[in-house]
Structure 1
């Protein structure tokens, strides 16, 4: 049995407001980038290379702000700022394909320290693990079963 985790003030207020004594989570939504894999530095490098080649004035650090967005959303955000318009569907597909190629050229990213331990604890306590990601990086998605066997 895992010792109870202290609840934040907000959760305590929620419990009180709804007259609950406790909450019993049944599922955990687990993000891939930054939770299971330390992939953001590589995503940042690939995005920066792509968008500077496309003529967008940007910094490598700003791509951390777009973490969690879809590729199309990131491209449109930057196109609106740089060119005053959204990218066409064709531009978006071509640019995201190139970003994926740039990402694959970089050294493979490893699992985040403690990620397997976290998933193991969740599994042992009967909490369903649900992988959620906006990433289209098949190179990472295909590794989930090998790096985290039986967890999803």
Structure 2
């Protein structure tokens, strides 16, 4: 593994849900059931479009403001419990571990930045099975505001000890692209979360690939080639 001098250090900040782990649709179904249990009818397509956003923002966007903190927390907690039942069935997106290891070998400081809670992140890290390539992780338990706020990306920058212009984000949702942009970091997007290339490019993605494996296959001509 290459170790560049501090002034040449680069960080690859990478989302987890939908980017490295095939979990987006499990989250969609878990949120749908959590809303149903709380008495709300919400279409799965509307939920899917907001996956990647922090839980609090997602709930408010789907049922509107004005609900008590206890009600919102109950929905989020129900989602967490329901999603937890899928932990042992999660699978990595093709090429996930290989991409992380390839970036680490090239000297990138690999930091994961996810809106997931800590216990979900732990399960997904086991699914990816590439701890040897990961410098650090940041999750929703560590910041005041999740995506699309820039807090997670900024926390990842601090972990990597690099400025925004020495980092690059890889994610799968519009909210990943927006969060990275607000932190001053360019974002390459993947289609593995079910969001269209057009939407990702409109949000500001500098490049779009199918999966981590596809990005790895084109790494030498990608924004992460430098």
Q: TM-score over 0.5 for the alignment?
A: yes
- Among 51, 66, 73, the residue aligned to 1:86: 66
Number of aligned pairs? Answer: 125
Long gaps (5+) in structure 2: 1-7, 135-226
Deviation string, structure 1 residues 42-63 (Cα, Å, up to 9, x no partner): 1011011111232323211222
Q: TM-score, normalization: structure 2? A: 0.50
- Among 65, 69, 76, the residue aligned to 2:49: 65
Equivalence for 1:13: none
Aligned with 1:32: secondary structure? coil
Equivalence for 1:123: 104
Equivalence for 1:31: 15
Equivalence for 2:85: 105
In 1, distance between residues paired with 2:124 and 2:52? 19
1:145 CA displacement: 5.7
| Bigger radius of gyration among the two | 1
Equivalence for 2:182: none
1:89 CA displacement: 1.8
In 1, distance between residues paired with 2:126 and 2:34? 30
In 2, distance between residues paired with 1:31 and 1:54? 29
In 2, distance between residues paired with 1:108 and 1:143? 10
Equivalence for 1:54: 38
CA RMSD of aligned residues (A): 2.1
1:127 CA displacement: 0.4
Equivalence for 1:138: 119
More strand by share: 2
In 1, distance between residues paired with 2:58 and 2:131? 31
Q: TM-score, normalization: structure 1? A: 0.73
